[in-house]
Structure 1
């Protein structure tokens, strides 16, 4: 039996960052990955593929130039599934190559196979050829990620009724698509295919979407979706889904019927813990396969077993998963782990992008904090005019008492990049004066921060600065 300091199950963002961190501290580390290649869900079916698909769709469709050249403008008139897949494969190969090099450079060992617990400190790994390897470790980090929720009543066939993992392998682009689930994944894919001129209908039993995002941003986002003829059937449930003559027919709970070429079921994901034999380690998952952990150390109820990444639930971001994996690994091997900064950015790679950091206006109201908002629209910036943008919104919320920034919320082109300026000011406890008094490159979309800062400054009163 091989003995390690840290055993990591899964090589996604949490697993690879945790493994490399422990290795840099001089520990003997083994990563177990059941997929054909390292990288986990993030590289092969989640974060990287969906964002690559988005970028390819926007480039080939000419989406970013339509503000100037009209909605009929396209870079490539006939876009095929192969066009989308070609760039995807190049990107994935690069990601895997980088990760394998990182493992080699840091002397992280890794094997392919399906891992399960034998006892709290021992796991067996069944390789593809049937060979069984037994390994043990002083500490174990579970970073197994998630898999799509696939209810029995949904007639999945990988062609006309698919989950989000299967969507990447479609043979041709559908003329029409129904997306069930208005969560982050459903919204991202719905808007990407809408940008490719697929007729998209989005269905969700809830009457609202993205409830953790500032309401004003969501309202602007919904307006943009409806403006380009996406159908949003919120507060409605698909009670029956049937395949008929190469099409799919859906019957909603209000009796409405919809016929479409393809259905994407994206109503949630499950922690990929069902094959781990958690009971042998003294652990159990919730009804969605997720593990409960200490939010500061990411230790489970079994002290030497840790969990990080999507398998522990919200926020389920690649960026936060990396930090969770790093912190968990440091704690696991007895190193000091500093708590990460309070505010982290949340990015939704829809079309348009949404990104947010800090408190929403609704949260500020709940805390009874006196506040003021500043808003800038991208069309107010010279860069926005150059890019042909007639949509896009940046909103900042400031405390009236301390004048500090409380939250920044953006919907529009480049939102996931722009948000980091606000994130830095938030974590450094900056005030409205930072945006008013500092110089921003011109012309840039970042100038929207100055416009929004001035908007808030003009409304706040009790001005102490002299401008």
Structure 2
């Protein structure tokens, strides 16, 4: 029987970062991955594929140049599913090669197969060829990720009614699409296909979307979606979804409205991929969505030597936070000191346009009773924005009136997920409005929007420096 200091189940962001961290500490580490190649959901069906699809769609459609050349501008007149898939395969192969090299360089062993618990220290692994082996570990890190939620009432067929994993294998681009679910995944794919000139309708039972984002940012985002004729049917539920003989799909909403479309994407949630782990053998229980409860500081489960990290533990379910969770969990699991991460981390929503945010929203400032002031900059106010042909894009900074510290940065528009890191650094280093007013930013850049927004807030707050 093979013995290890740490066995990691899953090779997504949390699994690979945790495995490499433990290996760097001189521990014997094994990664078990049930997929055909390492990388997990993030590399093969989630983060990397969706972002690659987005970039390909924007490039081939000429989306970024339409501010200059008009909405009819195209780089490639006829864009096919094969065009999208070609770049996707190149990117995925590169990601896998990099990860395999990282494992080899750090002496991390990995095998393919399905893992399940025999007891808290022993796992059984069934390989693709049916061979069974057992491994023992001082500690186990569960980083199994999630899979799409597939309710029984949805007539999934992989062609006209799909989940978000199946969407990557479509043979033809639909002329029309209905997306059920206005969460991050649903909105990302809805806006990507809209950029490809697919007529997109989004349905969600909730009357609002992306509630963890600052409302002013969502209002601007919503305006941009409706301006390009996307339909947002919020506060409505699809009671019935039926495939028609002509290949189309008919949806009946609880409002009585009927929709006919070429394709339905069901993106209303994901489930923790824990059902095959035999958790009952170790006295561990997942919730109704297959997620595991952990100590938020150590990522230890109720079983002392079992840890869990990444999407399987729930919110925020970001690749970036999953990596850090996996690293912390691995350090604790092998007895190393793990420092608490900075309080604020960025969210990135790779929609078209991008949204990124870090820190407190204006709504949270009001709830906490913190006196505040906001500064706003629009990308069209920057010279770089003019050069790029941008007529949309917004950066919002929120400052405490008492301490003048930056407490929130919120961006919608081109490059938002890159730009947010300037605000993140200032926020975590407890910088004030004076940082933006007194510092020089490269010209012309979109980052100059920080200075514009800082001056906007400073003008409202007055020239009185904080004592802190």
Q: Do they fold alike, i.e. is TM over 0.5?
A: yes
Q: Give CA deviations for 1:42-82 in whole Å, capped at 9, x if unaligned.
A: 00000000000000000000000000000000000000000
How far residue 303 of structure 1 moved from its aligned partner, in angstroms, is 1.1
Write the distance in 2 (CA, Å) between the matches of 1:297 and 1:465: 36
Task: Judge which range, 186-195 or 454-463, deviates more.
Answer: 454-463
How far residue 463 of structure 1 moved from its aligned partner, in angstroms, is 2.6
Q: Give CA deviations for 1:95-153 in whole Å, capped at 9, x if unaligned.
A: 00000000000000000000000111111000011000101100000000000000000
Contact 1:161 1:265 in 2 (8 A): yes
Q: Give CA deviations for 1:5-41 in whole Å, capped at 9, x if unaligned.
A: 0000000000000000000001000000000000000
Write the distance in 2 (CA, Å) between the matches of 1:463 and 1:334: 48
Residues 436 and 171 of structure 1: is their aligned pair in 2 closer, same or farther, counting only changes over 3 Å?
Answer: same
- Equivalent position SS for 1:284: coil
- Equivalent position SS for 2:398: strand
Write the distance in 2 (CA, Å) between the matches of 1:70 and 1:463: 46
Ranges in structure 1 where 5+ consecutive residues have no aligned partner: none
Write the distance in 2 (CA, Å) between the matches of 1:310 and 1:358: 21
Write the distance in 2 (CA, Å) between the matches of 1:425 and 1:278: 43
Write the distance in 1 (CA, Å) between the matches of 2:348 and 2:230: 21
Q: Tell whether 2:251 aligns with 1:234.
A: no
Write the distance in 1 (CA, Å) between the matches of 2:467 and 2:246: 72
- Equivalent position SS for 2:185: helix
Residues 34 and 457 of structure 1: is their aligned pair in 2 closer, same or farther, counting only changes over 3 Å?
Answer: same
How far residue 245 of structure 1 moved from its aligned partner, in angstroms, is 1.8
Write the distance in 1 (CA, Å) between the matches of 2:145 and 2:448: 38
Q: Give CA deviations for 1:293-315 in whole Å, capped at 9, x if unaligned.
A: 00000000011100000000011
Name the counterpart of 2:425.
Answer: 424
Ranges in structure 2 where 5+ consecutive residues have no aligned partner: none
Q: Give CA deviations for 1:257-286 in whole Å, capped at 9, x if unaligned.
A: 000000000000000000000010110000
How far residue 464 of structure 1 moved from its aligned partner, in angstroms, is 3.9
Write the distance in 2 (CA, Å) between the matches of 1:161 and 1:178: 10
Residues 124 and 459 of structure 1: is their aligned pair in 2 closer, same or farther, counting only changes over 3 Å?
Answer: same
Write the distance in 2 (CA, Å) between the matches of 1:333 and 1:304: 10
Contact 2:6 2:137 in 1 (8 A): yes
How far residue 422 of structure 1 moved from its aligned partner, in angstroms, is 0.1
Write the distance in 2 (CA, Å) between the matches of 1:331 and 1:112: 26
Task: Judge which range, 236-245 or 141-150, deviates more.
Answer: 236-245
Write the distance in 1 (CA, Å) between the matches of 2:141 and 2:452: 46
Contact 1:352 1:413 in 2 (8 A): yes
- Equivalent position SS for 1:89: helix
How far residue 165 of structure 1 moved from its aligned partner, in angstroms, is 0.1
Contact 2:403 2:466 in 1 (8 A): no
Report the TM-score, using the length of structure 1 for normalisation: 0.99
Q: Give CA deviations for 1:400-453 in whole Å, capped at 9, x if unaligned.
A: 000000000000000000000000000000000000000000000000000000
Residues 124 and 388 of structure 1: is their aligned pair in 2 closer, same or farther, counting only changes over 3 Å?
Answer: same
Write the distance in 2 (CA, Å) between the matches of 1:23 and 1:259: 53
Name the counterpart of 2:75.
Answer: 75
Write the distance in 1 (CA, Å) between the matches of 2:265 and 2:133: 38
Equivalences, count: 467
Contact 2:7 2:140 in 1 (8 A): yes
Write the distance in 1 (CA, Å) between the matches of 2:420 and 2:463: 28
Contact 2:18 2:330 in 1 (8 A): yes
Write the distance in 2 (CA, Å) between the matches of 1:147 and 1:399: 41
Contact 1:375 1:394 in 2 (8 A): yes
Write the distance in 2 (CA, Å) between the matches of 1:142 and 1:463: 51
Write the distance in 2 (CA, Å) between the matches of 1:155 and 1:466: 62
How far residue 462 of structure 1 moved from its aligned partner, in angstroms, is 5.1
- Equivalent position SS for 1:41: helix
Q: Give CA deviations for 1:156-210 in whole Å, capped at 9, x if unaligned.
A: 0000000000000000000000000000000000000000000000000000000
Q: Tell whether 2:394 aligns with 1:406.
A: no
How far residue 367 of structure 1 moved from its aligned partner, in angstroms, is 0.4
Contact 2:403 2:467 in 1 (8 A): no
Contact 1:121 1:281 in 2 (8 A): no
Write the distance in 2 (CA, Å) between the matches of 1:275 and 1:267: 22
How far residue 461 of structure 1 moved from its aligned partner, in angstroms, is 2.3
Contact 1:8 1:31 in 2 (8 A): yes
Residues 106 and 465 of structure 1: is their aligned pair in 2 closer, same or farther, counting only changes over 3 Å?
Answer: closer
Contact 2:357 2:410 in 1 (8 A): yes
Write the distance in 2 (CA, Å) between the matches of 1:208 and 1:233: 10
How far residue 466 of structure 1 moved from its aligned partner, in angstroms, is 15
Write the distance in 2 (CA, Å) between the matches of 1:27 and 1:310: 25
How far residue 465 of structure 1 moved from its aligned partner, in angstroms, is 9.3
- Equivalent position SS for 1:334: coil
Contact 1:345 1:356 in 2 (8 A): yes
Write the distance in 1 (CA, Å) between the matches of 2:113 and 2:334: 24
